[in-house]
Amino acid sequence: MHESLFAPLRLGGGQVEVSHRVVMAPLTRNRASEPNLCPHGDHVDYYTQRASKGGLLISEAVSISPEAVGYVSVPGIWTTEQVNAWRNVTDAVHKKGCSMFMQLWHTGRVAHKSFGSHPLLRKSGMALPSVSASATRMVHPRSGKPLPTETYVEGAVSETPRALRRDEIPRLVSDYVCAATNAIHAGFDGVEVHAAHGYLIDQFLQDGVNKRSDWYGGSVKNRCRLLFEVVEAVSRAVGPGKCSVRLSPTTIDPQTGQQNQLYFAASCSDPDKLYAHAVKGLNAYPLAYLLLTEPRWWGGRADGDAKSDKRFNIPLSNKKYRKLYHGVLMAAGGFTPGKAAQAVREGHYDMVAFGRFFISNPDLPERIRRGSPLNVYDRATFYANTNNGGGSDGYTDYPNLTGTMGTQGKYKLIEQSEIGSSLPKSKL
């Protein structure tokens, strides 16, 4: 089934070749060891379960430095111990004939300053959260109230970040380079620069957050400057075909006339102009791929669980960037197998990354190929952080088709036909 998803493809730069187009999206799971923020044996099992011959996995978002940390029990890549721990993961994944990229993450203003009390961060000597493009607080777009934020302190809300000084930008770029180099040393086949979803680089892109008046603010060109500097430096450090980028373009909802997706209140006055410039500019770099996140809100409605997802079927709002980007283009965000196959078959995207259903189906590519039922995911265990128990529930206990992994019969099944199979027509 869905033959378009099972054609081989060589990623940009020729460093990685895949035998199918079903990619595991980067998925934060909050299960790193404490206080060292390392992956461990459960991570080895989790990723190995989801590795397939000729496949591609993208790691959960990984903090590039102590300053970058913005979530509880999220792994890092700045210490030797972390590098060595990640090597255990990549070695196991490679034994199954699968490639793996690491997503590089700096949360920016999403972080809370109390992270500075974490033992691993406290001894770093680095500037600590929260920093951003400007001193703009993360607040609800209508009420103006500070948004809640995650930290080791209960009930925390967002605070006004410190604006990064211009003379700190080279150091920030260097942090990305060091993290990317560490990822390659840890055995990853490449890295993905997280420039989406309201985190630091995206905060520079969005003029609702970025109020700078220097070379990194104001015009679209200036707001994209940090993105391009990071991508150029990382690409130079790791080599062609080993760097990729994730962006989250926003569009106008034709039903409401409103911007349909605000990640952590990061708004933009003209997203189409911004992302057209960003996407076209990324053609200058030897990227493995560019990943664009499709919106998951439409008409004021968000997706729910696996059962309600069968009615959640939005148009492809970002396919317009296909004409602007000349390399391998990947999509993520609310895709069903049928919708993904159609998007690839019609040439809008070359690959599709799955999140929720890759969590619940370690053998997702094979299930899609066969048209087999899918395990229904349990949202309650998505973010069971290490401090609150973590464990195998909802992590390594989802079964495969052959019964060789996970707990058989623990999760309900849903037919692929029940979660949608076609794309609605878009007016965009």
**Per-residue pLDDT tens for 274-331?**
999 999 999 999 999 999 998 765 444 445 454 544 444 556 778 899 999 999 999 9
CATH 3.20.20.70 fits 3-419, yes or no: yes
**Rounded-to-integer distance, Cα 160 and Cα 286, Å:** 36
Identify whether the C-beta of residue 344 lies closer than 8 Å to the C-beta of residue 316.
no
The confidence score (pLDDT) of residue 143 equals 85
The confidence score (pLDDT) of residue 90 equals 98
**Rounded-to-integer distance, Cα 55 and Cα 77, Å:** 23
Average pLDDT over residues 177-181: 98
Q: Quick check: 206 pLDDT over 60?
A: yes
pLDDT band at 420 (very low <50, low <70, confident <90, very high): low
18 or 390, higher pLDDT: 18
The mean-pLDDT minimum among 76-80, 171-175, 390-394 falls in 390-394
Q: Quick check: 214 pLDDT over 90?
A: yes
Candidate ranges 135-144, 218-227, 304-313; pick with highest mean pLDDT: 218-227
The confidence score (pLDDT) of residue 311 equals 43
Average pLDDT over residues 67-88: 97
pLDDT band at 122 (very low <50, low <70, confident <90, very high): confident
- Predicted model pTM: 0.93
Cis preceding linkage at 124, omega within 30: no
pLDDT digits (tens, 9 = 90+) for 232-256: 999 999 999 999 999 999 765 545 5
The confidence score (pLDDT) of residue 105 equals 98
Identify whether the C-beta of residue 25 lies closer than 8 Å to the C-beta of residue 354.
yes
Does residue 275 carry a catalytic annotation?
no
Average pLDDT over residues 28-48: 96
pLDDT digits (tens, 9 = 90+) for 362-381: 999 999 999 999 999 888 89
Name residue 320's amino acid. Answer: K
Q: Quick check: 115 pLDDT over 50?
A: yes
The active-site residue out of 71, 176, 199, 349 is 199
pLDDT band at 423 (very low <50, low <70, confident <90, very high): very low
Length of the chain, in residues? 428
132 Cβ contact partners less than 8 Å away, ≥ 6 residues apart: 108, 109, 161, 162, 163, 164, 200, 203, 209
How is residue 114 annotated by DSSP?
Answer: G
The confidence score (pLDDT) of residue 318 equals 86
Average pLDDT over residues 380-392: 76
**Rounded-to-integer distance, Cα 127 and Cα 107, Å:** 14
The confidence score (pLDDT) of residue 386 equals 65
393 Cβ contact partners less than 8 Å away, ≥ 6 residues apart: 378, 381, 384
* Average pLDDT score over the chain: 89
pLDDT band at 140 (very low <50, low <70, confident <90, very high): confident
Question: SS3 helix, strand, coil % of the chain, rounded to 5?
Answer: 35, 15, 50
What percent of the chain lies above the pLDDT cut of 90? 72
How is residue 355 annotated by DSSP?
Answer: -
CA distances in angstroms from 40 to 33, 85, 178, 234, 389, listed in the order given: 7, 7, 22, 26, 14
Identify whether the C-beta of residue 424 lies closer than 8 Å to the C-beta of residue 314.
yes
Characterize 130-169 residue by residue with b for buried, 16 or more Cβ atoms within 10 angstroms of its Cβ, and e for exposed: bbbbbebbbeeeeeeebeebbbeeeebebbbbbbbeeeeb
